[in-house]
Amino acid sequence: MKLTTLVAATAIALTALPLAWAQQQPQKDQPAAAPPAATTPAEKMQPRWYTRQGGEMRASKLIGADVRNTANEDVGEVNEVILDKDGRVAAVVLGVGGFLGMGERDVAVEFKSLRFADKDGTPTITIDATKDALKSAPEWKWAR
Protein backbone atom coordinates (compact mmCIF):
# COMPACT_ATOMS: atom_id res chain seq x y z
CA MET A 1 0.00 0.00 0.00
CA LYS A 2 1.32 3.39 -0.87
CA LEU A 3 1.95 5.93 1.84
CA THR A 4 -0.45 8.43 0.25
CA THR A 5 -3.29 5.86 0.26
CA LEU A 6 -2.62 5.05 3.94
CA VAL A 7 -2.59 8.74 4.88
CA ALA A 8 -5.82 9.37 2.96
CA ALA A 9 -7.59 6.38 4.60
CA THR A 10 -6.46 7.49 8.06
CA ALA A 11 -7.65 11.05 7.42
CA ILE A 12 -11.09 9.83 6.32
CA ALA A 13 -11.40 7.55 9.37
CA LEU A 14 -10.39 10.32 11.77
CA THR A 15 -12.87 12.69 10.14
CA ALA A 16 -15.75 10.19 10.42
CA LEU A 17 -14.99 9.18 14.02
CA PRO A 18 -16.39 12.35 15.69
CA LEU A 19 -19.54 12.07 13.56
CA ALA A 20 -20.15 8.48 14.67
CA TRP A 21 -19.44 9.35 18.31
CA ALA A 22 -21.84 12.32 18.18
CA GLN A 23 -24.65 10.11 16.89
CA GLN A 24 -24.30 7.82 19.93
CA GLN A 25 -24.35 10.61 22.53
CA PRO A 26 -27.67 12.20 23.64
CA GLN A 27 -28.10 15.86 22.84
CA LYS A 28 -28.08 18.16 25.87
CA ASP A 29 -31.71 19.18 25.35
CA GLN A 30 -32.97 15.62 24.69
CA PRO A 31 -33.22 12.76 27.21
CA ALA A 32 -31.12 9.69 26.65
CA ALA A 33 -32.92 6.85 24.93
CA ALA A 34 -34.34 4.16 27.19
CA PRO A 35 -32.36 0.94 27.30
CA PRO A 36 -33.69 -1.76 24.99
CA ALA A 37 -36.47 -3.93 26.42
CA ALA A 38 -35.48 -7.28 27.89
CA THR A 39 -35.78 -10.03 25.35
CA THR A 40 -35.24 -13.24 27.28
CA PRO A 41 -37.30 -14.65 30.17
CA ALA A 42 -34.22 -14.58 32.42
CA GLU A 43 -33.84 -10.83 31.88
CA LYS A 44 -37.53 -10.21 32.66
CA MET A 45 -37.54 -12.23 35.88
CA GLN A 46 -35.37 -10.20 38.21
CA PRO A 47 -35.93 -11.20 41.86
CA ARG A 48 -37.78 -8.93 44.23
CA TRP A 49 -36.47 -9.42 47.75
CA TYR A 50 -38.60 -9.44 50.89
CA THR A 51 -37.21 -8.79 54.35
CA ARG A 52 -40.40 -9.21 56.36
CA GLN A 53 -44.01 -10.15 55.97
CA GLY A 54 -46.36 -7.28 55.31
CA GLY A 55 -50.06 -7.87 54.85
CA GLU A 56 -49.53 -11.28 53.26
CA MET A 57 -50.61 -14.62 54.67
CA ARG A 58 -48.57 -17.82 54.92
CA ALA A 59 -50.04 -20.74 52.96
CA SER A 60 -48.75 -23.13 55.63
CA LYS A 61 -51.00 -21.39 58.17
CA LEU A 62 -53.93 -21.40 55.77
CA ILE A 63 -53.87 -25.12 54.93
CA GLY A 64 -55.70 -27.03 57.64
CA ALA A 65 -57.49 -23.95 58.95
CA ASP A 66 -61.16 -24.30 59.83
CA VAL A 67 -63.73 -22.51 57.70
CA ARG A 68 -66.93 -21.15 59.21
CA ASN A 69 -69.98 -19.66 57.58
CA THR A 70 -71.64 -16.38 58.49
CA ALA A 71 -73.90 -18.26 60.94
CA ASN A 72 -70.66 -19.27 62.75
CA GLU A 73 -71.12 -22.96 61.82
CA ASP A 74 -68.06 -25.09 61.07
CA VAL A 75 -68.40 -25.93 57.36
CA GLY A 76 -65.02 -27.47 56.52
CA GLU A 77 -61.31 -26.87 56.39
CA VAL A 78 -58.77 -25.68 53.86
CA ASN A 79 -57.13 -28.64 52.11
CA GLU A 80 -55.19 -26.86 49.37
CA VAL A 81 -54.37 -23.51 47.80
CA ILE A 82 -54.55 -23.29 43.99
CA LEU A 83 -52.30 -20.80 42.18
CA ASP A 84 -52.85 -19.44 38.69
CA LYS A 85 -50.10 -19.37 36.07
CA ASP A 86 -48.97 -15.95 37.34
CA GLY A 87 -48.55 -17.20 40.93
CA ARG A 88 -51.64 -15.51 42.35
CA VAL A 89 -54.07 -17.46 44.53
CA ALA A 90 -56.98 -18.40 42.30
CA ALA A 91 -58.93 -20.76 44.52
CA VAL A 92 -58.95 -22.54 47.84
CA VAL A 93 -59.95 -26.20 48.06
CA LEU A 94 -62.16 -26.91 51.04
CA GLY A 95 -62.86 -30.31 52.54
CA VAL A 96 -66.61 -30.29 53.29
CA GLY A 97 -69.36 -32.65 54.40
CA GLY A 98 -67.25 -35.15 56.28
CA PHE A 99 -67.30 -36.46 59.80
CA LEU A 100 -64.06 -37.63 61.43
CA GLY A 101 -62.44 -37.84 58.02
CA MET A 102 -65.17 -40.02 56.51
CA GLY A 103 -67.29 -38.82 53.58
CA GLU A 104 -65.39 -35.58 53.10
CA ARG A 105 -65.16 -34.24 49.58
CA ASP A 106 -63.25 -31.38 48.03
CA VAL A 107 -64.86 -28.26 46.61
CA ALA A 108 -62.96 -25.27 45.30
CA VAL A 109 -64.07 -21.72 45.94
CA GLU A 110 -62.73 -18.54 44.46
CA PHE A 111 -60.23 -16.97 46.85
CA LYS A 112 -62.15 -13.66 46.77
CA SER A 113 -65.24 -15.38 48.23
CA LEU A 114 -63.45 -15.94 51.56
CA ARG A 115 -63.00 -13.37 54.32
CA PHE A 116 -59.93 -13.57 56.50
CA ALA A 117 -59.20 -12.37 59.99
CA ASP A 118 -56.41 -13.17 62.40
CA LYS A 119 -57.15 -14.36 65.91
CA ASP A 120 -54.01 -14.81 68.05
CA GLY A 121 -51.90 -15.75 65.02
CA THR A 122 -54.44 -18.24 63.68
CA PRO A 123 -56.39 -17.36 60.55
CA THR A 124 -60.15 -17.18 60.92
CA ILE A 125 -61.81 -17.90 57.59
CA THR A 126 -65.44 -17.15 56.81
CA ILE A 127 -67.52 -17.95 53.73
CA ASP A 128 -71.02 -16.74 52.97
CA ALA A 129 -72.48 -20.19 52.19
CA THR A 130 -74.58 -22.72 54.05
CA LYS A 131 -73.43 -26.25 54.83
CA ASP A 132 -75.97 -27.55 52.31
CA ALA A 133 -74.72 -25.20 49.57
CA LEU A 134 -71.16 -26.42 50.10
CA LYS A 135 -72.22 -30.10 50.19
CA SER A 136 -74.06 -29.69 46.87
CA ALA A 137 -71.26 -27.66 45.19
CA PRO A 138 -69.45 -29.30 42.26
CA GLU A 139 -66.61 -31.52 43.42
CA TRP A 140 -63.04 -30.40 42.75
CA LYS A 141 -61.28 -32.80 40.35
CA TRP A 142 -57.52 -33.15 40.72
CA ALA A 143 -55.45 -33.31 37.53
CA ARG A 144 -53.45 -36.51 37.21
Question: pLDDT digits over 87-103, tens only?
Answer: 999 999 999 987 766 78
pLDDT of residue 47: 85
Greatest mean pLDDT among 15-19, 99-103, 111-115 lies in 111-115
- Mean of pLDDT values over 111-131: 87
Of the chain, the percentage scoring pLDDT greater than 90 comes to: 38
Whether domain 59-135 has CATH 3.90.550.10: the reply is no
- Mean of pLDDT values over 107-120: 89
Going by pLDDT thresholds of 50, 70 and 90, the confidence category of residue 46 is confident
pLDDT of residue 123: 72
Contact 107, 140 (CB under 8 A): yes
Distances (CA, A) of 83 to 64, 88, 98: 17, 5, 25
Read off the amino acid at residue 130: T
By the 10 Å C-beta count (0-12 exposed, 13-18 middle, 19+ buried), 124 is classed as middle
Q: How many CA atoms lie within 13 A of 105 on its CB side?
A: 12
CA dist 68 and 82 (Å) reads 20
Q: What is the model's pTM?
A: 0.62
pLDDT of residue 92: 94
Q: Give CA 80 to chain center in angstroms.
A: 17
The 8-class DSSP code of residue 25 comes to S
Phi, psi angles (nearest 5°) of residue 72 = 65, 30
**Is residue 7 classed as helix, strand or coil in its secondary structure?**
helix
